[in-house]
Amino acid sequence: MIKLYTIGFTEKPAEAFFNLLKSSGVKQIIDTRINNASQLAGFAKGTDLQYFARTIGNISYEHNLDFAPTKALLSLYRAKKLSWAAYETEYLNLLDMRKIAQKTDIEKLHENCLLCSEHQPDHCHRRLLAEYLRLVRNDVRIIHLT
């Protein structure tokens, strides 16, 4: 069984965020954001997050742009020019075009955590990505840290 976690950093203080990761046994954070360098990200800014994760929880960090939506796709959704259902379809098509199923060694995702900014996974690409990977390997157990 492959445990694949997901987490969003908004609406979580750093203490709660890192305690969730540590108590769950997460070994690596995989950042699925397009832009991980925004000042608005606070403790979850890419270089800071890498340092904090390693120092606080001995958790490694990787920024994987292949898992991120395109800027154009995200902009259309945020501007409400694309419904959530249409966004889902477009994002999943993007994963297919990028050949994520073929390029990803899902076995190595055991105890990894897909990260983005959304607080809840309901309307978030990290959930879509996790479910997409579970379609490739049905022994993936998705655990949303909230």
Hey, which residues does 141 pair with through a beta bridge?
3
The residues pairing with 5 across neighbouring beta strands, listed in sequence order, are 113, 143
Mean pLDDT of 6-24: 96
Architecture of the domain spanning 2-145: 3-Layer(aba) Sandwich (3.40)
The model's pLDDT over 34-76, given as tens digits with 9 standing for 90+, comes to: 999 877 678 998 899 999 999 999 999 999 999 999 999 999 9
CA separation for the pair 8, 52 (Å, rounded): 16
- For all residues of the chain together, what is the average pLDDT? 95
Q: pLDDT band at residue 23, thresholds of 50, 70 and 90?
A: very high
pLDDT tens digits, residue range 89-105? Answer: 999 999 999 999 999 99
Domain residue extents for the chain:
2-145
Reported in sequence order, the residue ranges of 26-83 that DSSP labels E, i.e. its strands, are 28-31, 60-63
